Copies of this chain bind each other. A is one copy, B any other.
Amino acid sequence: MPSFTLHETLQKDCFVVGDFPLSQLLLNNESSYPWFILVPRVPDVQEIYHLPLSKQQQLWTESRQLSEWLMKHYQGDKLNIATIGNIVPQLHFHHIVRFQSDRAWPKPVWGAFPSVPYPTHIAQQSIQEARHYLQIK
């Protein structure tokens, strides 16, 4: 049985925050928006509906926990959630906090602008906050 390995593009573009029961939580290294990604630790899955039903339910639970925390913590104007995966086929579930003042508003963030990487200390702070409040490691 194949084991789960994070896709190399996600490894390159993101920081690993920690593990929910099903998913690995990533912080996208794009400081323009709080942009987190859930990646179910299941090999060879491209679509949510391909997961066994119990894992779909767990993914929605994790999405809900993440969504509630993100909007409370960052006080965003809107949350954008999506699975796209046209380029990176490994199932990954975007959660992006949007502000009316952000540089891409009101457009979607994908392809809007080149990423602006985080200063290291700010990424580390965001990761520590997420681990603390979401109780993951």
Give me the interface of A with B, judged by CB distance under 8 Å: 46-49, 56-57, 60, 63-64, 67-68, 71, 78-87, 89, 98, 105-108, 110-111
* B-side contacts of A110, CB under 8 Å: 107-108, 110
A-B contact pairs, 9 of them (CB 8 A): A47-B79, A48-B63, A56-B60, A60-B60, A78-B84, A80-B84, A82-B108, A87-B106, A108-B108
- Chain B positions within 8 Å of A47 at CB level: 67, 71, 78-79
Q: Which 5 A-B residue pairings sit nearest by Cβ, starting from the closest?
A: A82-B82, A86-B106, A49-B67, A108-B110, A80-B84
CB distance from A48 to the nearest CB of B (A): 7
Q: Is the CB of A86 within 8 A of B80?
A: yes
| Residues of the B chain whose Cβ atoms lie less than 8 Å from the Cβ of A107 | 86, 110-111
Chain B hits for A63, CB < 8 A: 48-49
Q: Name the B residues within 8 Å of A46 (CB-CB).
A: 78
Alpha-carbon distance A82/B85, docked complex (angstroms): 12
* Cβ contact within 8 Å between B56 and A64: yes
Least CB distance, A82 to chain B, in whole angstroms: 3
